[in-house]
Structure formats: structure tokens, C-alpha cells
Amino acid sequence: MKELLGTSIFIGLVITLGTYLIGLHLRKKFNLFIFNPLLIAISLTIGILLLFGIDYNTYNIGAQHLSYLLTPATVCLAIPLYEQFKLLKKNFTAIMVGIASGVLTSCVTIFCMALLFRLGHHEYVTLLPKSITTAIGISLSEELHGYVAITVAAIMITGLFGNIAGDILCRILHIKHPVAKGIAIGTASHVMGTAKAMEIGEIEGAMSSLSIAVAGCMTVIATIGFEWLI
């Protein structure tokens, strides 16, 4: 059995879909934020790979087929944004300022953390793209000569935290306007956060979708100035 799991080209696909379905089932059954499907899927996948000694490359042969769906799925995010286009025009200035504030906050936070923990330049630039989508973050990290693997991990952790705690933090901070909630979640936690924003409401999902692209572009520009600070 162990040998079969370690050599099957479809094992990555089966593990990924299976663990995520388990996460969805637990979320529906218990309805608690801790039973987040993404968190459960990631935890179970890591556990299965370690338990059966499955090589990551073997796992990725099957799992990478799901990556082909990322592009059309990302394009589909434009649909809710189009449906809320009038709202976007009405609040355009506030939306742009909100996204810019989120990007600046992210960069300043990483800068302060780097000073606090005495991180070197390479570690510092590795963490700067933590709040943007993976595709942009990887390219930016490579351009800055950061550690790409750590950048990917930081992006995933940031997105997962936003998916789990984004709505809770909005309630704690009394952020009630749907546009503000969508911008906050999307700017801070990219695609994973947007998935949660779409569960909250159509407006939140549309604004969060917009934030992914705009925040990505703004982060690339902001990084040009921040990378030389350390």
C-alpha cells in the first residue's frame, strides 16, 4: 500500500481533493471557524505525506493538474466585480485609498518586524510580498533575490489567516460597510481571503477581487522603495 501511494501519479490529486472534502464536511457539521477547509486540507495533506513517506515531487505530479484551474478561476473573479461596477465607480477614490493604505501597512509592518528581529536584507525582501497573490509574489521574490520557498509559505499563511479570521477581525473592529470589509480582506489576504469574502456577501467578494490585482501592482511599486531600507 505504501509503495502504491508513493508511486501513483494520481495520488496528489486524490489527496488534495479528499482532504478538502473532509474539511468541507467538518465545517458544515460543526460550523466553527477552526474547522476551516483550507487549514484542514493542508494539515491532513502534510500528515499523509509524512506518514506514508510520499515524495513531494510524486505528490505534485498529480496535484499540479489542479493548478491549471487557477487561471480560469481567477478570471471568474471579474464577474462579481462587473456586477458591482456602479458601486465601484461611486466609491472609486475611497477604494483606491483603502487598498493603498493596506499595502503601505503591510510593507511598514514587515520593515518594523525586520528591525525588531534583526533580519538580513534577503530575509526582509523575502517577506515583503506576503500579502499578494502567489503568482506575483513568486516573481517579485525572485527579482529581489529573496528565498522563494519562504515567500510562498508566508503568502499561504497570510491568506489562510485572512480566510479564518478576516470576518472575525472585522466584527471586533466594527467594520460593517461591505465595501470596507471586502477591501480590507482582499488587500490583506489575497485569493484565500477573497474566498471568504465571497461567502460573506456579493459586494464583499467583488471588492476583495478588485483588491487582489490592485494591491499586487501597488506592492510591486512600493517594494521598489522599501527594499533599500534594510
C-alpha grid cell, residue 25: 464536511
> Average pLDDT, whole number, for the chain?
87
What is the domain range of residue 210?
78-229
If one counts the domains in the chain, the total is 2
Structural domain contains residue 158? yes
Report pTM: 0.81
Q: 161-219 pLDDT, tens per residue?
A: 998 888 899 999 999 999 999 999 999 998 888 888 988 998 999 999 889 889 988 99
Asked if residue 82 and residue 64 are part of one domain, the reply reads: no
Give the pLDDT score at 71.
Answer: 67
Which of 68, 88, 111 is the endpoint of a domain?
A: 68
C-alpha grid cell, residue 5: 501511494
Give the pLDDT score at 78.
Answer: 76
When mean pLDDT is compared over 53-67, 80-94, 196-210, the highest value belongs to: 196-210
Asked if residue 154 and residue 108 are part of one domain, the reply reads: yes
Asked if residue 205 and residue 140 are part of one domain, the reply reads: yes
Structural domain contains residue 73? no
Asked if residue 89 and residue 170 are part of one domain, the reply reads: yes
d(CA 80, CA 170): 21
Give the pLDDT score at 1.
Answer: 53
Structural domain contains residue 54? yes
> How big is the CA angle at 197 (ends 91 and 175), to the nearest 5 degrees?
60
Neighbour count for residue 118 (Cβ, 10 Å):
8
Asked if residue 187 and residue 133 are part of one domain, the reply reads: yes
